[in-house]
Amino acid sequence: MSRLLTREAFEKLREELHELKTRKRTEIAAAIAEAREKGDLSENAEYKAAREAQRMLEARIAELEAMLAESQVLDLSQIDPSRVNISAQVRVRDIQKNKEYSYTIVPAPEADLRQGKLSAESPIGKALLGKKIGDKVIVKVPAGELHLEVLDIRY
């Protein structure tokens, strides 16, 4: 299944992968070599810790490689600007509280609610995808239901 990413998110993941494969691998290899020099590996806590760090590093590298392999960079020219999609800045009104909120709908790896970046895979993000200005949605969230109206969409 292809995962949509913005160009920015795709590049960030590629940079992280490069960093892990180059600098981090070198650092961990040096830590393992240094720990080996200290003798008996069966009782060497530094060696065990370095090997565990290496295992975690290789797992993250594999995760990033898989994520990048199955990702597709979002082409904004192919998006209908009248509908909510990934990278849309959406202003909504909570009908029950009569409060307005603004979110940017982003792929899950980019989500950061403190910055107003809402995952397209979250309940609210999923409910808003494909909606137009004036559309109303009911979103089931852990605290109950939200009744939202789409007020504005910008790209």
Q: Do 31 and 63 reside in the same domain of the chain?
A: yes
Mean pLDDT of 85-97: 95
Mean pLDDT of 111-125: 94
**pTM score, two decimals?**
0.65
Contacts of 105 (CB under 8 A, 6+ apart): 84, 85, 86, 87, 88, 90, 118, 120, 125, 128, 129
Pair 134, 152: CB distance under 8 Å: no
Q: What pLDDT does 134 receive?
A: 97
Q: Do 87 and 62 reside in the same domain of the chain?
A: no
Q: In total, how many domains does the chain have?
A: 2
Statement: residue 95 has pLDDT above 80: yes
Q: Do 53 and 100 reside in the same domain of the chain?
A: no
Domain that holds residue 30: 3-73
Q: What pLDDT does 1 receive?
A: 57
CATH (domain of 40) = 1.10.287.180
